[in-house]
Amino acid sequence: MIGVSKGKCFCIGTSPENFDQSPESLKTYNHLMDEISNDEDMYKALIAEEDLQQWTVQPFLPLLDEMELLSLLERHLTLQDYLYPETYRFVLYVVKERQEPCFDYDVPTEPGLAGVDLGEWTVYSKWKVFQPSQIQLCCGQDDNEVLSKIPRKVIADGETYFYKPLDHDDKECAVREMETYKRLEHLGADERLHVPRLYGVVQDKQTGRVLGLMLSWINCENKTLECALAQENPSAMLVKWDQQVSTTLACLHEAGIIWGDATAGNILIDTDDNAWIIDFGGGYTRGWVGKDRMETIEGDQEGLSKIKELLHQGFQRGDL
């Protein structure tokens, strides 16, 4: 498991080979691992993962308490702090049913590479290229816990952006998304298009790998259409969202652009109650688009139809 506390990264590892004369502890460990691998009940899997994390980290708490708190308030945190934190490695042994925390001295000689190697694919010339150290994280009240979460709201060159990390080594998805944003650039400023725009990429200077995207910031307070439809909304609001999503998708299709993962969870509702289509990395979500129609206009229309069904259900609740 990997966790962040006090501005530092802690990696704790264990395995069945680390259990010596501890059949009960090994039984507990194997049971939790089986539950975590349960694809049929995600709730039970999440509970088991939390239980395993608590069981694993408990004997290390005295060691973590002794660690000096990283003084984050004296300087601005950057994406560099999040991506490359000071890291401590531990390993857990269980001997005669007693947990024994130890430092792990078998440290990898080469750190894992983040981001994507784009190969010969060239970043669009109009996009800025940022280094992680140039991107300031927007911290909340508890700055010492900010590094435990994926940064979303960031500042660079005095502008606020949404930072979207790229999946490790998923070049196909990364190129697809950037190609889509490049085509959106060519459409210009069309008020009918409620989609974020790409303004830059984050690149590791040493490896040349692209770590993430710098997108326009949509102030939505983590509210998606799926969240919004969980409560009652005025009919006029539902009509507005329907029109904005339908118009945006029609404009995209006219330009030959596929949304690719059409779900209510990929529509943001901003603080002015506008609906924004996001996520052009491709793929599909089961229950929204059939796998055989993934990344096609037909798949987008299928997802849109189900979104409209949810909006229509909102009308019905409002009429009761």
Give me the domain span that covers residue 163.
128-216
**Which of 74, 32, 73 lies closest to 55 in space, CA to CA?**
32
**For 230-245, b where at least 16 C-beta lie within 10 A, e where not — what string?**
eeebeeebbeebbebb
| Whether residue 44 sits in one domain with residue 94 | yes
**What pLDDT sits at residue 277?**
97
> Does some domain include residue 168?
yes
Same domain for 12 and 95, yes or no, is yes
Let me know whether 90 and 180 are in one domain: no
Give mean pLDDT in consecutive 10-residue pieces for the chain, a chain of 320 residues.
69 92 95 88 88 92 74 70 85 95 74 83 94 88 63 94 91 94 87 94 93 96 94 93 97 94 96 96 89 93 95 68
Q: What is the pLDDT of residue 22?
A: 95
- Give this prediction's pTM: 0.78
Sequence-distant (6+) residues with CB within 8 A of 262 are: 249, 288, 289, 299, 300, 302, 303, 304, 307
Last residue of some domain: 103, 138, 161? Answer: 103
Same domain? For 97 and 150 the reply is no
pLDDT of residue 28: 94
- What is the model's pLDDT at position 112? 63
Check which CATH number belongs to the domain holding 235 and give it.
1.10.510.10
Q: Kindly report the CATH number assigned to the domain that includes residue 134.
A: 3.30.200
- Locus of tokens 């857990």: 92
